[in-house]
Amino acid sequence: MIDRIEQLRSEAEGEIGAAATSEELEQLRVRFLGRKAELPQLLRGVAQLDPAERGKVGAAANAARQALEALIEERTAQLAAAELSAGLVHDAVDVTLPGAPAQPLGSLHVLTSTRRELEDIFLGLGFTVMEGPEIETVHYNFDALNHSPTHPARARTDTFYVQRSGEGPEVVLRTHTSPMQVRAMEAHPPPLYVVIPGRVYRPDSDATHTPQFHQIEGLAVDEDITLADLKGTLLSFARAVFGETRDVRLRPHFFPFTEPSVEVDVSCFHCSGKGFMADGSRCPLCKGEGWLEVLGAGEVDPNVFAFVPTTAANAPGYDPEKVQGFAWGLGVERIAMLKHGVPDLRMYFENDLRLLGQF
Amino acid sequence: MRVPLPWLYEYCDPGLDVHAIEERLTMTGTKVEAILRQGVEHTEGFVVGRVISAEQHPDADRLKVCEVDVGARDGAHATIVCGAPNVAGGQTVAVATPGAVLPNGIELDRRKLRGIVSEGMILAEDELDLVAGAERAPGIIVLDELMLDAELAPGAPLAEVLPIATDVLELEITPNRPDCLGVYGVARELHAATGAPLSEPPWVADPGAEGALGAAEVIVECPDLCPRFTARVFEDVAIGPSPLWLRARLAAAGQRSISNVVDITNYAMLLTGQPLHAFDLDRVAGAKLVVRRAGAGERVQTLDGQTRTLDDEMVVIDDDDGPTSIAGVMGGARSEVGSDTTRVLMEVATWSGPNIHRTSWALGLRSEASSRFEKQLQPEQCMHAQAVAARLMVELCGATLLPGTIDVGGAPAEREVIRLRQARVGALLGLPIERERQAEILRALDFTARDAADGLDVGVPPLRRSDVTREVDLIEEIARIEGLEQLPATLPARRGAAGRLSHAQRVRRAAEDALVGRGLHEIVGWSFTEPSLLDRLQVPAGHPLREVVAIENPMSDGQSIMRPTLIGSLLDAARHNVARNGPDVAIFESGTVYRAGGEEGLAREHHGLGALLHGHLGARTWGGQEGAEAGFFAAKALLESLLGHLGVRFTVEREEWPFLHPGRSAAVHADAQLLGLLGELHPLVSEQWDLDRAAVFAIDLGKVAAAAPEVRAFVPFGSFPPLRQDLAVTLPDAVPAAQLTATVREAGGPELEDVRIFDLYTGEQVGEGRRSLALTLTFRAIERTLTDEDVAPRRKRIVDALAAIGGELRG
């Protein structure tokens, strides 16, 4: 009996060791350890043996069964690991194919991303963002900004007028964001630090002019805000937008609502302000000047303060003898054009996805 | 304005190179837009020559073969073939030798002309770009006829004799500085900017005199519009061409040469800034000029041959036969100076700037004179121009100046005086400037400055009286001349400043970013649109979208109203891209829309957010996956993400819009507020824009912001697992899904965490007029794990509630 058990065990061990698949193993398990197999039969028959034999045969058969079970388990794990490895190799993909399904992001329009960038710079400098109406009265667009009644900007050739039905104030499409200067001062007492982004309109259309465009107005009013403060503020702005080594220069100019008035140039970032390129050719961006005109600005004209009525909302009001400050108006398209090299302003409003997707 | 540098140097020569002058003028407020060159680029090769002999060319009737002494060291003469009829032996001429580059860019070479080698070229005026071609004197320049001061030795550089290479400054003169519309005014700026001495004004030496003048009479009936009118009379005037120096100077300044008298008026204007007008006195009927307001509808023929209809705000100058010119804008043809003129009345007047501006715009007639007058010239300038013109009339036209000057109106005698507080200068600029220096700058600009208790009493020069009226204007003068480069770069104190975005601004950014995150591209459309947009959108008469803001003076009919909706610009952009870049277009716009009828005559504006989907959201990939097709539910899914992201609770209900598919069109509400619309475009509208199926939404971001919480409060959640159960129910078609989920939620009680529709089926199995919806119910309790037994009563209440709306449980 014992010999037979050892024989079975040895036979089974040999075959289990040689099994190549989990299916074969399962067949071997049934053959050697299944209900009808010889070894379990032997175990079940142990009771009929005489007591002297019973213990030895039972122990040998049990040991053989346990050893075979362990062997099958071990061998099963080995085969599973091998089969998994083989399967993984088989499952290999072409990692150079594009991701799928695609998860494309969209894009902000370059005018929006530029405007936000500028807003964020001025937010960091302590300015609050305000907005106002695009369709505006002549009072706020011209009169309160110290434009003489005959100022050429009021002409039908320079300003869009809104058709009026009946009486009421003359209304225009605002030609700049500046009307919000007076509106902001009417609503808030000094000190006041605001930037006003928005869309503005002038009847002009070519590669560098579109009848609608976008500006960001700046206004800072307190008791002691100087032209030097304007220079410092715009220097911070210029460096944030165009690079840490940029410089600004203020050139005297004329605007009805600032005095002194200046135009502000930023040193050219394309040629580092030299006006010419490394190969000696003229810088195509600044046309050899070394400077790029970016905006108009100045100290708020006292006449503009005088146009601000004192009310409960803005008390103590804006007495030109007691407050002073600066204002600027910059063009978002111009900044975006300079920064990204968009050649024609009209492309901004064509909304071709080949442009939109670039920024 | 163009200023030839040699002319400027006659009055102020700082001895700087042209780029240094450019820099100083630009940085003190007179921007140099460009530096132009009148004449040749390089003066090498251009010399004085003497024609030794001029013989007929053997093979060409119209050519002469000249031996010309061009000062060669070996004494050799150059052989030059010349086609000018006036060339003759003995003349001193202008010669270009081989290697010289002409203004037209051609480099001169030895060249055979009908068999004879020509070693250069004898030059005419236009070949040197001294004057424009049409104004050239015929033939070659004969230098010894020009009565030049210079030595005319053969071989001498031509540039020392003629202005063949003139630098010209192109200046931007700001509208507040009409005094700089004259060369002398610019010279004063250069003087102040560089400290170089300034010569006396060219009008100091006046050959004329004040006093009565009997040869003509002037009456000014409207002194409010004509503060000053002066006139002088010249007799024995010989009309003819101007000398070369004058023609060349005018050419460099951008003016055509006409005749000596007209050229003199232009020269005097360019020097003093003040326009003049020369009348042929014999053609002034009655030798009398009357300045008066025109009658409404009155017609005048102007110099350009056109007949103009006037109104009663315009000013005309009459003689006894009626109007001869439109004052300050354009002269009349009738009294124009011509070749037979011998008696000239020189008119120099001051007009009301605003009035001239109005007249010139109303007539659509802008002239050099009107563009100057409209900036408000000062009465003092009249006599400046009279003096300069008188000297040249005598010199160049052999004229006799009659004694006396007609002067109606005169000029104010006193200067305005403004107190300049010394401390205010530093306080406004952020850069203290010594009082002495302040006075020095002001005096260089022709102001007077007297010490006062706290600063200076400053007298304003007459030519600046429109521009400088207040202390702050004087501070600007000081700042610009002292140099804004001197200003330090400081930051304001920013008391109380805290830069921040408003809630509405943050909501706007978040909304835009959410759509970008879902793959949409932002467009920026036109605020303008065409009135027919509303027809193409099928908007009926009387619809609120028809309450548009119309522009009185649009650039075109296509841009004549302000858009009342974002749908139009989205459609325009979609068409553009579908045609060029394929059918898959997913775009949005965040911008203002406009309706008429706001407060104080303004419009009702709101910031809208609109999106349009066409084709598929995302291109097909190699794996076969394709993005969602642009339809109602794709657009709705986007809107759900967007409003969910912003924390806005909203509802969507069937509602028709004229431009949307009537069965796939909805209104979006938050509480009772209408946020906007959602739907598929009406096929007829899509067709108008050459599009296929497209879906849109458009919402009012202001209302969205109002409905969005500024701060979100924490909602607690437990640690126990959820219990999920599915439920399939059939319902009549008329019961909307939203009603189904609302019913389930209400009946499900607080432990029903979520209800999700995961299947929709219609067909035979559920019968006509009904549909089957499958739901996943998620229950969860904060404090324990739920079992099927726990939720059984809830499930029963849900089933009962569904039965009440016609629902039957399926299988």
Q: Is B134 a residue whose pLDDT tops 70?
A: no
Residue with tokens 């205010």: B424
- The answer to whether the beta carbons of residues A264 and A358 sit under 8 Å apart is no
Is B599 an interface residue toward A (CB < 8 Å)?
no
Calculate ∠ Cα B242-B372-A258, nearest 5°.
Answer: 145
Please provide the CATH number assigned to the domain covering B723-809: 3.30.70.380
pLDDT (mean) for A194-212: 94
Q: How far apart are CA A330 and CA A119, in angstroms?
A: 12
- Position B717 scores a pLDDT of 84
**pLDDT grade, residue B464 (50/70/90)?**
very high
Percent of chain B's residues with pLDDT above 70: 100
Residue B727 backbone phi and psi in degrees, to 5: -150, 125
Q: Say if residue A191 is preceded by a cis peptide, omega within 30 of 0.
A: yes
Please provide the CATH number assigned to the domain covering B46-163: 2.40.50.140
Please provide the CATH number assigned to the domain covering B2-39+167-194: 3.30.56.10
User: Is B432 exposed, middle or buried, given 0-12, 13-18 or 19+ CB atoms closer than 10 A?
Assistant: exposed
Residue with tokens 């943050």: B506
pLDDT (mean) for B454-481: 96
Q: Is A219 a residue whose pLDDT tops 90?
A: yes
Is B359 an interface residue toward A (CB < 8 Å)?
no
pLDDT (mean) for B432-440: 96
Name which of A101, A111, A164 is nearest B625 (Cβ-Cβ): A101
Given an 8 Å threshold on Cβ–Cβ distance, is B512 in contact with A112? yes
Measured between beta carbons, the chain B residues lying within 8 angstroms of A174 are none
Given an 8 Å threshold on Cβ–Cβ distance, is B26 in contact with A253? no
Q: Please report, for chain B, the start and end positions of each structural domain, with discontinuous segments joined by +.
A: 2-39+167-194, 46-163, 217-408, 417-480, 503-707, 723-809
Average pLDDT, chain A: 92
Name which of A129, A168, A233 is nearest B501 (Cβ-Cβ): A129
Q: How far apart are CA B87 and CA B92, in angstroms?
A: 10
Q: Tell me: the pLDDT tens digits for B236-270?
A: 999 999 998 999 999 999 999 999 999 999 999 99
Name which of A105, A150, A324 is nearest B428 (Cβ-Cβ): A324
Measured between beta carbons, the chain B residues lying within 8 angstroms of A155 are 361
Q: Is B563 a residue whose pLDDT tops 80?
A: yes
Q: Residue B672 corresponds to which amino acid?
A: A
Q: How far apart are CA B272 and CA B383, in angstroms?
A: 10
Q: How far apart are CA B19 and CA A108, in angstroms?
A: 43
**pLDDT grade, residue A268 (50/70/90)?**
very high
Name which of A128, A150, A171 is nearest B353 (Cβ-Cβ): A150
- The answer to whether the beta carbons of residues A57 and A5 sit under 8 Å apart is yes
Tokens (6 digits) for B797: 């209440």
**pLDDT grade, residue B811 (50/70/90)?**
low
The secondary structure element, H or E, covering residue B347 is strand B344-350
pLDDT (mean) for A214-240: 97
Q: How far apart are CA B604 and CA B234, in angstroms?
A: 65
Q: How far apart are CA B289 and CA B346, in angstroms?
A: 12
**Residue of chain A nearest B524, judged by CA positions:** A349
**pLDDT grade, residue A279 (50/70/90)?**
very high
**Residue of chain B nearest A108, judged by CA positions:** B522
Name which of B479, B494, B502 is nearest A193 (Cβ-Cβ): B494
Q: Tell me: the pLDDT tens digits for A333-359?
A: 999 999 998 888 889 999 999 999 998
CATH classification number, A110-356, choose in 3.30.930.10, 3.40.50.720, 3.40.630.30, 3.40.50.2000 = 3.30.930.10
pLDDT (mean) for B168-172: 97
Q: Tell me: the pLDDT tens digits for B721-751?
A: 999 999 999 999 999 999 999 999 999 999 9
Q: How far apart are CA A159 and CA A202, in angstroms?
A: 5
pLDDT (mean) for B437-446: 97
Map residue B755 onto helix, strand or coil: strand
Alpha helices in B173-307 (DSSP H): 183-194, 244-252, 260-272
Q: Tell me: the pLDDT tens digits for A2-57?
A: 888 888 888 888 888 888 888 888 888 888 888 888 888 877 888 888 888 888 88
Map residue B162 onto helix, strand or coil: coil
HEC-encoded secondary structure of B106-155? CECCCEEECCEEECCEECECHHHCCCCHHHCCCCECEHHHCCCCCCCCCC
Q: Decide which of B300 and A187 is more confident.
A: A187
Measured between beta carbons, the chain A residues lying within 8 angstroms of B600 are 137, 168-169
**Residue of chain B nearest A213, judged by CA positions:** B526
B2-39+167-194 and B46-163 in the same fold: no
Q: Is B133 a residue whose pLDDT tops 70?
A: no
Is A45 an interface residue toward B (CB < 8 Å)?
no
Measured between beta carbons, the chain A residues lying within 8 angstroms of B494 are 125-126, 191, 193, 220
Given an 8 Å threshold on Cβ–Cβ distance, is B175 in contact with A152? yes
Tell me the C-alpha to C-alpha distance, in Å, between residue B84 and each of B113, B120, B122, B164, B641. 14, 14, 9, 20, 85
Complex-level ipTM:
0.89
Is A166 an interface residue toward B (CB < 8 Å)?
no
**Alpha-carbon gap: B78 to the closest alpha carbon of chain A (Å):** 39
Residue with tokens 């005297």: A252
Residues 6+ apart with CB under 8 A from B215: B233, B281, B287, B343, B345, B402
**pLDDT grade, residue B151 (50/70/90)?**
confident
Ramachandran category for residue B296: left, alpha or beta (phi over 0 → left; psi -120 to 50 → alpha): beta
CATH classification number, B503-707, choose in 3.10.20.30, 3.30.365.10, 3.30.930.10, 3.30.30.10 = 3.30.930.10
**Residue of chain B nearest A324, judged by CA positions:** B428
Residue B121 backbone phi and psi in degrees, to 5: -150, 135
> B417-480: what CATH class?
alpha beta
Name which of A163, A199, A236 is nearest B551 (Cβ-Cβ): A163
CB pairs under 8 A between A and B: 284
Q: Please report, for chain A, the start and end positions of each structural domain, with discontinuous segments joined by +.
A: 2-90, 110-356
| Interface probe, candidates A182, A249, A353, chain B, greatest B C-beta count within 10 A | A353
pLDDT (mean) for B650-675: 96
Residue B338 backbone phi and psi in degrees, to 5: -130, -175
Calculate ∠ Cα B665-B738-B809, nearest 5°.
Answer: 130
- The answer to whether the beta carbons of residues A299 and A227 sit under 8 Å apart is yes
Residue A82 backbone phi and psi in degrees, to 5: -65, -40
User: Is B409 exposed, middle or buried, given 0-12, 13-18 or 19+ CB atoms closer than 10 A?
Assistant: middle
Q: Is B755 a residue whose pLDDT tops 90?
A: yes
CATH classification number, B217-408, choose in 3.90.470.20, 3.50.40.10, 3.40.50.150, 3.50.50.60 = 3.50.40.10
Nearest-CA neighbor of B55 among B45, B43, B67? B67
Partner A, chain B 517-556, Cβ-Cβ below 8 Å? 517-528, 549-555
Given an 8 Å threshold on Cβ–Cβ distance, is B491 in contact with A353? no
Is A93 an interface residue toward B (CB < 8 Å)?
no
- Position A207 scores a pLDDT of 80
Measured between beta carbons, the chain B residues lying within 8 angstroms of A109 are 521-524
Q: Tell me: the pLDDT tens digits for A124-167?
A: 999 999 999 999 999 999 999 999 887 889 988 899 999 987 77
